Structure 1
Amino acid sequence: MESGTAASAAEQPVISLRGATASLGSRPVLRGVDLTVRRGEVVALLGANGSGKSTAVRAVVGQVPLSDGTLSLFGTDFKRFRQWSRIGYVPQRTTAASGVPATVREVVSAGRLARSRFGVLRKADRIAVERALDLVDMNTHADASVNALSGGQHQRVLIARALAVEPELLIMDEPMAGVDLANQEVLAKAVRRQVAAGTTVLLVLHELGPLEPLIDRAVVLRDGCVVHDGPPPQAVGQHALPGHDHVHPHAAHDAEPLRTGLLS
């Protein structure tokens, strides 16, 4: 019986969003979005600025309430879901410390606290932190102040903080935005290793870039609606996206300022 229950749980989608509608202020942003991410998949959310990509992932992690529709995580209705340590989240356009004095290791360790008992890091926690630092090639900077890092290094620290949780589901919102090619390659390598270990990944991307070989499926949004759910577009760039209607990067973005992390 127990093995049957485990098998059933493994078959449940990691994310199931059905008929999702949501607004930011008085502006409708999601208009009946369906999104399914299955265990072990790497799914990219694509679309022009203002299409609702960031709002969709923020709805998944509970930062934007749904006005209609349903959401379940790991087969559990969102209202009853409590196992946030199974999810690593990297928000969009933020910094690792926001001016607060902290070392790289301290910021990454903060992610691990979500799994630790009584807020105390044990040996296994410290090992997970060091592994996360190694995954993003920041172990040699572990004792450096995050305020002294470049933008690309900040992004690597934020991803390490999410990886320190050892998540079953990794959600990243525009992880490559404003990051130079060298840092993009480091981040792609880290994601590749997580995918090889069985992690499920949901990414918001403008272009596939170095992550393209990892993407199993692309879900393209336009005006808050899904216009494509299937193989990733062969060409990169907004003009290649299904449903592109000449919306360009100077358009208003759908994202609002985010908290520094799901678990912080």
Structure 2
Amino acid sequence: MSAVTAPADSDRPRPSSPEDAGPAVVGLRGAVATVGGRPVLRGVDLTVRAGEVVALLGANGSGKSTTVKSVIGSVPLDRGSLELFGRPYRKFRDWHRIGYVPQRTTAAGGVPATVREVVSTGRLPQHGLLPFRRKDRAAVDRALTAVGMLDRAGDRVAHLSGGQHQRVLIARALVGVPDLLIMDEPMAGVDVDSQQVLAEILRNEVQRGCAVLLVLHELGPLEPLIDRAVVLRDGCVAHDGPPPRGVGQHALPGHDHVHPHADDHHRTTQGLLA
């Protein structure tokens, strides 16, 4: 599949204020959570609105993955509150509205399954174990087409490359046509073509009104799509606003010095990512 180019900033209007971005899809307030007995989140506030693309940034161990896992309920909160689509978490039942792509992993978890079978599991939240209907099969085909994997639908996932595994996981999240798409390190270890495909997929999802929450180490080809960046440090929000400049090679591990030409904003945001 040929690579596509992420759109320029002018291709999509930015919300002038948080309220302009639409209703809250995720509302996390004062989130405190522990993992393995170790405090990880220490009072995180996070809001994601309809049609908004929010990037979670920060160093390893800052709490990025734990934050998204708390949003989908796999890490319970010790304190704080969570609302999804305006409903308290304990009353939320519409899980088909959320598509989740975990950190890069084997798409079938070691099970000898085909690409189509793995992607089809993304329809289960909508109708459980009922027999697949024509519209379900059509949805699977659309999702596979979106990630450029329709021609590999009958292949065993064990035979795929790392980038192809990631595309299958993305297709599984897309097949339910979610209103909130959550991706944990979707670009980690994948080839440039797959990164560009992901940028195009996100552009299309946002155009139909989907909210997107991304865990990233660097913005790369997704940078033109990002509305807000939330930078975590030691389980706390250190920045919530425009993406820090220099996220890319300047944010890679080991790049923590201050450039002599950097202004105050640049120095501040670089420190947050160190």
Question: Given the alignment of the two structures, is residue 211 of structure 1 paired with residue 222 of structure 2, yes or no?
Answer: yes
Q: Distance in 1 between matches of 2:152 and 2:22?
A: 40
Q: 1:77 aligns with which of 85, 88, 97?
A: 88
Residue 180 of structure 1 deviates from its aligned partner by: 1.3
Query: Equivalent residue of 1:203, what SS?
Result: strand
Deviation at 1:116, TM superposition (A): 2.7
Contact kept? 1:48, 1:244, Cα under 8 Å: no
Aligned to 1:252: none
Distance 1:132 1:65 in 2: 31
CA distance in 1, matches of 2:130, 2:220: 38
Structure 2 distance, partners of 1:137, 1:53, is 29
Say if 2:261 is the partner of 1:234: no
Q: Aligned match of 1:102 in 95, 110, 113?
A: 113
Letter in 2 for 1:159: I
Q: Secondary structure at the match of 2:182?
A: strand
Aligned equivalents of 2:125, 2:81: Cα separation in 1: 26
**Could you tell me whether the CA contact under 8 Å between 2:244 and 2:270 is conserved in 1?**
no
Where does 1:136-147 land on structure 2 (aligned, <5 Å)? 136-147=147-158
Listed one character per residue, the Cα deviations across residues 25-77 of structure 1 (whole Å, up to 9, x for unaligned) are: 22111010000001110000000101000000000000101010000000000
Provide the rounded CA distance (Å) in 2 between the counterparts of 1:230 and 1:96: 33
Deviation at 1:12, TM superposition (A): 3.8
Residue-by-residue CA offset, 1:103-157 (whole Å, 9 max, x unaligned): 1011101111221364221111111111100110001111111000000000000
Instruction: Tell which deviates more after alignment, 165-174 or 86-95.
Output: 86-95
In 2, the alpha carbon distance for the partners of 1:221 and 1:44 equals 11
1:86 to 90, 97, 100: 97
Q: Is the 8 A contact 2:143 2:174 kept in 1?
A: yes
Q: Distance in 2 between matches of 1:224 and 1:118?
A: 38
Measure how far apart 1:182 and its partner are: 1.4
Work out the CA distance in 1 between the residues paired with 2:101 and 2:169.
6
Unmatched 5+ residue regions in structure 2?
1-20, 257-265
Verify the 8 A CA contact 2:231 2:272 in the aligned structure 1.
Answer: no
Q: Is the 8 A contact 2:54 2:226 kept in 1?
A: yes
Specify the alignment match of 1:130 in structure 2: 141
- Count of residue correspondences: 238
Query: RMSD in angstroms over aligned alpha carbons?
Result: 1.7
Q: Residue 269 of structure 2 aligns to a residue in which SS?
A: coil
**1: CA distance, partners of 2:168 / 2:31:** 32
Identity %: 66
Cα distance 1:52–1:243, how it changes in 2: closer, same or farther (>3 A)? farther
Structure 1's unaligned 5+ residue stretches are 1-9, 248-264
- What residue in structure 1 maps to residue 233 of structure 2? 222
2:42 to 17, 31, 51: 31
Q: TM-score w.r.t. structure 2 length?
A: 0.83
Q: TM-score, normalised by structure 1?
A: 0.86
Shift of 1:24: 0.8
How far the C-alpha of 1:246 sits from its partner, in A, is: 7.7
> Is 1:172 paired with 2:199?
no
1:213-264 residue CA offsets vs partner (Å, 9 max, x unmatched): 11000000000000100011121232578263685xxxxxxxxxxxxxxxxx
**Matched residue, 1:256:** none
Does the residue aligned with 1:176 lie in a helix, a strand or coil?
coil
